[in-house]
Amino acid sequence: MSAAPSSELESLAVLAARVGATLRERRQTVAVAESSAGGLVSAALLAIPGASAFFLGGAVVYSRRAGKALLGLTREDIGDMRGETEPYARFIAARIRESHRATWGICESGAAGPSGSPYGDAPGHVCLAVASAVTVSWTIENGTTDRPANMALFARQLLALFDETLQAQPAPASA
C-alpha cells in the first residue's frame, strides 16, 4: 500500500503528458489494464504525440470473459481473489506488464456507479496498482454515484499514482 495520490488532482491530459514525458526520457514503457475507467487512461496516454515510444498496449478488462480473452486469465490464476481489491489490481498490473513485456504495468479496478458492483463494493470504490521492480497499490472510496465523474476521477487517480511512483524511482543510468 502506498500513500494516496494527492487529493488535488491535475487534469487527465496534464498527468498523461507528464507520465509520457518521464517514460520517454527514461526509455521505459507501459501497458494498461482498466475496468471502470473504460479506456480513459489508455486514451489519455495515446493522445500524446509520439506515444508509440512508451505505450505498448491496453485492455479494458470489464468481465471474467474479457480477462480470459485479453489477458489469458484462468480460474487457477485468479484463485480466490475477487475484482476490485488491491491483490487483484496488483496481479492484473503485473500480468499486463508481463504479457506486453513492458517496464511498467498499471491497473484500476472499481465500481463507477451509479450502483455498486456485483462484488458488493459501493460506487466510488476503486483499487489502483502500479507494477514493475516496485509494486504499489491503493484503495480509494469516494462514495460518489456519478458514473462519468467516477470514471474520469479513477483515470486521474491511476495516472497520479503512476506519476508519483515514477518520480520516486531513480532514473536508470542508461536513460
What mean pLDDT do residues 24-30 have?
A: 98
Which tens digit of pLDDT belongs to each residue from 110-145?
A: 999 999 998 899 999 999 999 999 999 999 999 999
Q: pLDDT confidence of 3, banded at 50, 70, 90?
A: very low
Q: What single-letter amino acid sits at 110?
A: G
* Amino acid letter, residue 3: A
Sign of the CA dihedral with 92 first, then 95, 99, and 101 last: positive
Asked if the model's pLDDT at residue 8 lies above 80, the reply is: no
**Residue 12 to residues 53, 96, 97, 116, 132, Cα–Cα distance (Å):** 19, 22, 22, 24, 22
- More confidently predicted of 2 and 137: 137
Other beta carbons within 10 Å of 71? 18
pLDDT at position 1: 44
Model-level pTM greater than 0.75? yes
Q: Which CATH number fits domain 12-167: 3.40.190.10, 3.30.499.10, 3.40.50.1700, 3.90.950.20?
A: 3.90.950.20
Mean predicted confidence (pLDDT) in 33-55 = 98
Q: What CA–CA distances, in Å, run from 99 to 4, 32, 58, 112? A: 27, 11, 11, 26
Q: Over the chain, what is the mean pLDDT?
A: 93
> Domain-by-domain residue ranges, the chain?
12-167
Q: Which helix (H) or strand (E) holds 104?
A: strand 104-111
